[in-house]
Amino acid sequence: MKIKIHKPKNEILQNHIGCFYSLQRNSNDKDITYFGFPSNTIFLTLSQDAKIKINKNDLSIENHPNEEIKSLLIIDNQKQGSTTYKGRTNEITIYFKPLGINAFLTKPLSNYITNTVSEFSPFEDYTIAIHKLFKIKDDTAKFEFLKII
């Protein structure tokens, strides 16, 4: 498993985003589970070729080639949850500071969430931008692309 973390260089983004990170796993990597604990953070997770199963506060992310890119908004609340990765993974996550995501939305956050984990597509051209992001192979270039979205 390979994780690369990048903090925004732009001062305005630093007020709203804690960091971006990419997570990549090979198909022969062992399944891995981690636990999340109650907090007030918000994550936007973008996963390529993934089938995601949501069971209350638990996520299972499994490689399924040719799946649409998944965009999930994860609102941590007062319940513990787990995330399990199975197989190859290509994921980008944005870790927002408390209330930081609101600077990027045109409607109140409550319009985008249905549960602790919600599918997320806030803008008309959002899906097009995500597909462009995942066509970029270099992680640094991906982070640079995210800075202009």
Segment 85-120, tens digit of pLDDT: 999 999 999 999 988 999 999 999 999 988 888 899
Answer whether residue 13 shows pLDDT above 60.
Answer: yes
**Is the alpha carbon torsion for 57, 91, 1, 89 positive or negative?**
positive
pLDDT at residue 57, rounded to an integer: 77
Check: CB of residue 143 under 8 Å from CB of residue 67.
no
Indicate the domain borders of the chain.
Answer: 2-148
Check: CB of residue 91 under 8 Å from CB of residue 47.
yes
Q: What is the mean pLDDT of residues 5-20?
A: 90
**Is the alpha carbon torsion for 8, 146, 111, 53 positive or negative?**
negative
Segment 118-135, tens digit of pLDDT: 899 999 899 999 999 999
- Give the Cα separation of 41 and 73 in Å (integer): 11
